[in-house]
Amino acid sequence: MQVFHHVASLREALAEARRDGKTIGFVPTMGNLHDAHIELVNLAREQCDVVVVSIFVNRLQFGLNEDWDTYPRTMQADMAKLRVASCDYLFHPDEAEIYPNGMDEQTKVICPAMTDVLCGASRPGHFEGVTTVVAKLFNIVQPNKAVFGIKDFQQLAVIRRMVEDLCIPVEIVAAPVHREEDGLAMSSRNGYLSEVERPRVAILNQSLIWVSDEIKSGRKDFAALEDEARAKIEQAGFKVDYFSICNSKDLQPAAHDDSEITILGAMYTSGARLIDNVSLSV
């Protein structure tokens, strides 16, 4: 695995791969890698000749009072995992390399659709930071395919919309949610869970599955289902950020005649904010 800290040297290496007719797969991350990240790398490896992974903790997508300063940086462990996964190129820039004119002067990429609801409602500015850095990384790497996890369903939808709107020639590949044995979606923030909370956090996934099963059985009272699911999560001792039954494409509240539905939930523990989702066809 070759490691690059600078845009110019990474581009030079990738230009040679393109001249050889190789396809390039890309997995953008913020590091602190776990099995779910490695599954993204494995999927990129299956579909492309060359795999590029980026590790960059993007301050632009963290809001006030969020955990940018304390976000785990585990570079040596991350590199060891990527070598085992046969990553070809690791791009690990510093902030000055990504934002050479400073973040205050950085040109922003703004997607007006789907960014002010769900996670966007509770994390103002978050998706502006995501779309800006992902657009920059796409321009730097110029991959044929980029792999994102379905766990961050809203992020996936926003990036797909950005790619469509800006005519970016990248195929977005969606990877299934990688879960713990009890159903908890694997996340870097799971490390913030206390020993007391850990046995109870599966309630988020359980509530999503319960609502999905209720809809499949014919229930269409979506608002009541959302309220009942919130009550289940609160009874388990957690604060609900949102629990919403949405149209899978535009993330608007689901209509009774929608055929593709995604149920999305977010909740707060004492030290973490966890998200998850379940999709179904009706």
Torsion of CA 221, 222, 223, 229, to 10 degrees: 110
6: how many CB neighbours lie within 10 A of its CB? 12
Residues found in the chain: 282
State yes or no: is 37 an active-site residue.
yes
**Cα gap 178→196, rounded to integer Å:** 23
**Cα gap 130→157, rounded to integer Å:** 12
Catalytic residue selected from 37, 92, 126, 256: 37
Beta strand 171-175 with 260-268: parallel, antiparallel or unpaired?
Answer: unpaired
φ and ψ at residue 100, rounded to 5 degrees:
-65, -25
**Cα gap 210→196, rounded to integer Å:** 24
> Taking the mean position of all CA atoms in its chain, how far away is CA 140?
20
For residue 218 the two structure tokens come to 């014919």
Catalytic residues: 37
